[in-house]
Amino acid sequence: MENEYKTELDYYFNTNYKQLVKNCKFLIIKSKSKFTEEDLLTETYLYLDKNKDKVITFAEENKLTLNHVLYIFFKRYTTMSCIWKNSDINRFNSKLYDSKDLTILEDYNYNNIEIEDEIYNEEFIDQFIDSLNKEDKICFIAYYKDGYNTYKQLGEYLNISLCSGRNIVKDLNNKMKQYIKINNIH
């Protein structure tokens, strides 16, 4: 299945390349990120390739096509990469570039990247989910893990208004910030 997955992943990126770049560009502009859409696209491809077991398992458990699941994971990863200032690509870029003049920092220790990237992993997300009440868990899982990552999609999924979807997302973001602050996670 590994070769099959790699072939499907390559096919997905090749056939949808223009739309994927367009989506990345939109997210980067909206979030005012300092990396390019090619950087985000490459980072997402590597993430999907590295996490093939999760993608395949998710597809099998939910009886979805691999193409559909690649889309879900692509949207989730790119959105979170742009929104979360502590995402892999944001942290990497903030360490590579001085925010004043965007020059490459000479003294950056590239060996620390792997260690630092382990702070906000799936284990962290699972611990955060466990700290939520039942209603918030349902909303967060739908928003973060199931790919309903716009107010409209979340609202339609939960059968609530667009405004309520926005309020839920804002509330979840505040709860995550509070969780990080309470648990001294940096």
Residues of the chain with pLDDT below 50 are 95-118
pLDDT for position 132: 92
DSSP-assigned letter for residue 112: G
Residue pLDDT, tens place only, 72-121:
888 888 888 877 776 767 666 654 444 443 333 334 343 443 433 445 56
Q: Which domains does the chain have, with CATH numbers?
A: 2-102 (no CATH), 121-182 (1.10.10)
pLDDT for position 98: 41
Report the predicted TM-score, pTM, of the whole model to 2 decimal places: 0.49
Give the end-to-end CA distance of the chain in Å, rounded to a whole number: 38
